[in-house]
Amino acid sequence: MNNDGRRRVNAVIEVEHLHKRYGETVAVDDVSFTVGRGEIFGILGRNGAGKTTTVECLVGLRAPDGGTIRVLGRDPLRDHAEVTRRVGVQLQDGQLQDRLRVGEAMRLYASFYPEPADGTALLEQLGLEGKERMPYGRLSGGQKQRLSIALALIGRPRIAVLDELTTGLDPHARRDTWDLIEAVRAAGVTIVLVTHFMPEAERLCDRVALIDAGRVVHTGTPAELVERSGEPTLEDAYVTLTRRTP
């Protein structure tokens, strides 16, 4: 059983009692969750709640101080190369060098994988067609964001970890990106999505975990969290369920 009381069939991600500190700061106190194959799993929580640290541990970019993580049955640190090959990552601050051109970045990332996706089609799906020769430093904030999504998907990952997927995107680009993510999931990819944007969680996520002060305080479908809180919307539910007593 997992922490929301249901057994996950075909779990592809299992996090148990993850603990991570930076010096005196406890970034992740005790986080456990399981993600099933083909799910879109949302991680929600206040600024500084420990979301990015959790996903960085998940993809083997940081070493936990406690707990265990299994991704596709592997340890992200010990089996780093294998996990990296199967997990696409779009992280906050995933900056590239300013002079690197869009097409070069796509080709470079494609070269890391045995069977990469069609980069031209991916750029088109993300509204970056015709930008292949544009240096990264000259892209707008939203274009950089869309390129980072393309780079997360170029390796045809089995799991995509997307941290603040649509932050900085205009409403059209945001909706196009949601459609793309749904198509990626329909192709069998499991998605972990960190977001502050409740309509995005409501539209895309099968289940979400609310993280507060480094702990999972609620897990469930967006509809279950709304019901549990007695509030009318997911945003209200989120605020109520993560409210701290003064």
Ligand X SMILES: Nc1ncnc2c1ncn2[C@@H]1O[C@H](COP(=O)(O)OP(=O)(O)OP(=O)(O)O)[C@@H](O)[C@H]1O
Supply the minimum distance, in Å, between the C-beta of residue 128 and ligand X.
25
Give whichever of 86 and 215 is closer to ligand X, judged by the CB atom. 215
In the complex, minimum distance from the CB of residue 25 to ligand X, in angstroms, rounded to a whole number = 5
Q: How far is the CB of 211 from ligand X (least distance, A)?
A: 7
Nearer to ligand X, 50 or 157 (CB): 50
If the CB atoms of residues 49 and 204 are measured against ligand X, the closer one turns out to be: 49
Question: At closest approach, how far in Å is the CB of 67 from ligand X?
Answer: 15
CB nearer to ligand X: give 11 or 216: 216
Cβ at position 109, least distance to ligand X in Å: 24
With respect to ligand X, which residue has the nearer C-beta, 28 or 204? Answer: 28
Positions touching ligand X (CB under 6 A) are 22, 25, 27, 45, 47-53
- Kindly compute the dihedral angle of the four CA atoms of residues 189, 159, 144, 92, in this order, to the nearest 10 degrees: 140
